[in-house]
Amino acid sequence: MGSVRVPTKETYYALSTPMGVSATATIRISGPKAIDIISKMTNKPVVYFKHGVSKVLSIFNVNNNLVDKVVVVCFEGPNSYTGENMVEIHSHGNPIIVKNVFRCLSALGLRLANPGEFTKTAYLNKKIDLVQAESVFNLINSQTSGGVDISLNNLRGSLSNKLSLIQKSLIYTLSLIEYELDITETDNLKNTQTQVLSSLTETLESTKKLIKTHSTARIISEGLRVVIIGRPNVGKSTLFNALLQYDRSIVTSDPGTTRDVIEAQRNISGFSIVVVDTAGMRQTKNKAEVAGVKKTKSEMNSADIIISMVDSTHAKAVINTPKTTPTILVYNKKDLLSEDQINTNFNNNIDVYISAKTKEGIKDLLGLIEKNIELSLQPREAFYITSKRQEDILMSINKSLTKLSKRSFFELEIFAFEIKRAIDQFDWLLGKTTPDEVLDSVFSRFCVGK
């Protein structure tokens, strides 16, 4: 495991608000020269600026031409988001003005920030740990109010504290073993073994519980992917539009109209879902359709729920779907069938008859989707892990400690080695000792202004 890099001594800037026309735009500056730079741009002495105090000022370029009238807020390190001197410039939201401010900053020797550099600097300056840094990314990108709540809870440090408590329990367990190694009294060995195994059991229960929360956190934050599949012209796009309650996909009577994946969000009883329309599954030589079928298969493998559609007027074999993915079998075009045909065609495997065109049966289908959502969600937890990195490390810890707890003999040296390794992995999880390439991977996903 590599050591953590020290923060850069450079001063950098970025736009923290979205690009485009808006009422205001926020430009962040961070680094040792941040307050000196704003002093030059406003023609005000450094002592004029007070920590956390807003000032309405004019800013000028290097030729002393007016750029804009802005609100400036300065933050002195270490009492800032990054732990360095920071400045926020709140300008008018015209992109031309933003570009002119950028030119001023570049002319004064500053560089544009790298993606996630502000949060990465906060992490390197120990303002937050790596779990909290990941929660910043999730907070910005959460699609639901539930996802925002999870991210805020993790940003506050709740998950980090929970992980630290588990690690401290392992550290205490290791101390019992090391004490036993030092005193080498066989009379106490059995008692130590009992305590160590009890501690490992508690740790395994805690890590297993946290690992299970990852998929639930993704569902709460991003919504479930509900993928509609079927052969060409069974009514997938019509159903897609019916579920969304507006026309999002093009619908024609020609088979193969949909050749790419189309997705959109909606809420069902407070749950967020992503509904996905896919290309019809069939053998074809058309290159565009072949590519579409390939994407459909990929979507099937990543789906949380699959709606498998069949044309009930000339039903063919149902498309095979992954056995581990909940699948709702839907027979469409009910409006073209008589009651006798429906009763004749009725099959216990059919979940619902619908008419995507007339909307008949859509309410029943939504009820089935909602039921599957509830089955997919674990009971509400106090803590959620929210990244694959967190899940992978906890699974690694859990795997090694499970093997250790099942050993036939209580060999002190082996137990000490494995528990020490688990403690080190918790350091990695919290970002106390994390390789540079892992840090780069985490922060490269951020927008530049964060």
DSSP classification of residue 313? T
Angle at 93 between CA 89 and CA 94, to 5 degrees: 120
Fold topology of 12-127: Gyrase A; domain 2 (3.30.1360)
Beta strands in 333-421 (DSSP E): 352-353
Q: Which residues partner with 360 through β-bridges?
A: 355
What digits encode the pLDDT tens for the residues 367-417? 998 888 888 776 678 899 999 999 999 999 999 999 999 988 888 899 999
Element (H, E) at 374: helix 362-376
Q: How many angstroms separate the CA atoms of 293 and 286, rounded?
A: 11
Quote the tokens at residue 15: 């736009």
Tell whether domain 139-219+383-443 is in CATH 1.20.120.430.
yes
The band of 265, judged by pLDDT with boundaries at 50, 70 and 90, is confident
Per domain, the residue ranges of the chain are 12-127, 139-219+383-443, 223-376
Residue 216's pLDDT is: 85
**Contact criterion met (CB below 8 Å) for 66 and 58:** yes
Q: How many angstroms separate the CA atoms of 311 and 230, rounded?
A: 9
Residues in the chain: 450
What digits encode the pLDDT tens for the residues 43-93? 999 999 999 999 999 999 999 999 999 999 999 999 999 999 999 999 999
**Contact criterion met (CB below 8 Å) for 12 and 117:** yes
Residue 170's pLDDT is: 94
Closest Cα to residue 328, out of 292, 296, 365?
365
Beta strands in 103-212 (DSSP E): 111-112
Residue 448's pLDDT is: 63
Closest Cα to residue 238, out of 332, 361, 370?
332
Quote the tokens at residue 378: 């674990």
CATH entry, 223-376, from 3.30.450.40, 3.40.50.300, 3.40.50.2000, 3.40.50.620: 3.40.50.300
First to last CA, the chain: 26
Question: What contacts 34, CB < 8 A, 6 or more positions away?
Answer: 11, 74, 84, 85, 86, 87
Q: pTM of the entire structure?
A: 0.74
Quote the tokens at residue 180: 């036993």
Q: How many angstroms separate the CA atoms of 309 and 315, rounded?
A: 10
Q: How many angstroms separate the CA atoms of 329 and 230, rounded?
A: 10
Tokens 């993704």 correspond to what residue? 218
Question: What contacts 87, CB < 8 A, 6 or more positions away?
Answer: 28, 29, 30, 34, 35, 37, 38, 72, 73, 74, 75
